[in-house]
Amino acid sequence: MAVIKPMIRSNICINAHPIGCAKETENQINYVKSQKAKRGTKTIAEGGKGPKTVLVIGCSTGYGLASRIAAAFEYGADTIGVSFEKEATETKGGTPGFYNNKAFDKFAAAEGLKSVTYNADAFADETRETIIAKIKEWNTKVDLIIYSLASPVRTDPDTKVLYKSVIKPINQVYAGAALDMMTGKITQASTEPAVGDDIPNTVKVMGGEDWERWIKQLKEADVLAQGCRTLAYSYIGPKLSHAIYRDGTIGEAKKDLEKRAHDIDSSLKEIGGGAFVSVNKGLVTRSSAVIPIISEYLGVLFKVMKDKGTHEGCIEQMERLFAERLYTGADNSADKVPVDSENRIRMDDWELADDVQAEVDKIMPTVTEENVEQTTDLAGLRHDFLSINGFDVAGVDYDADISDMSKID
Determine the Cα–Cα distance for residues 397 and 379; give it in Å rounded to an integer: 20
Task: Give yes or no for a contact between 130 and 82, defined as CB atoms under 8 angstroms apart.
Answer: no
Catalytic residue among 245, 297, 327, 398: 245
For residues 130 and 116, the answer to whether their CB atoms sit within 8 Å is no
Catalytic annotation present for 245: yes
CA-to-CA distance for 337 and 59, rounded, in angstroms? Answer: 23
Whether 177 contacts 260, CB under 8 Å: no
Beta-sheet strands, E only, within 174-324: 174-179, 186-191, 224-234, 274-279
Q: Do residues 120 and 82 touch, judged by C-beta distance below 8 A?
A: yes
Query: Cα–Cα distance between 403 and 20 in angstroms, integer?
Result: 15
Cα(235)–Cα(252) distance, integer angstroms: 12
Residue 384 in contact with residue 283, Cβ under 8 Å?
A: yes
d(CA 253, CA 5): 36
For residue 59, the number of C-alpha atoms closer than 13 Å in the C-beta half-sphere is: 31
Please list, residue by residue across 252-273, b when 16 or more beta carbons sit within 10 angstroms of its beta carbon and e when fewer do. bbbbbbbebbeebbebbeeeeb
**Cβ neighbours of residue 136 under 8 Å, at least 6 residues apart?**
221, 223
Q: Tell me the catalytic residues.
A: 245
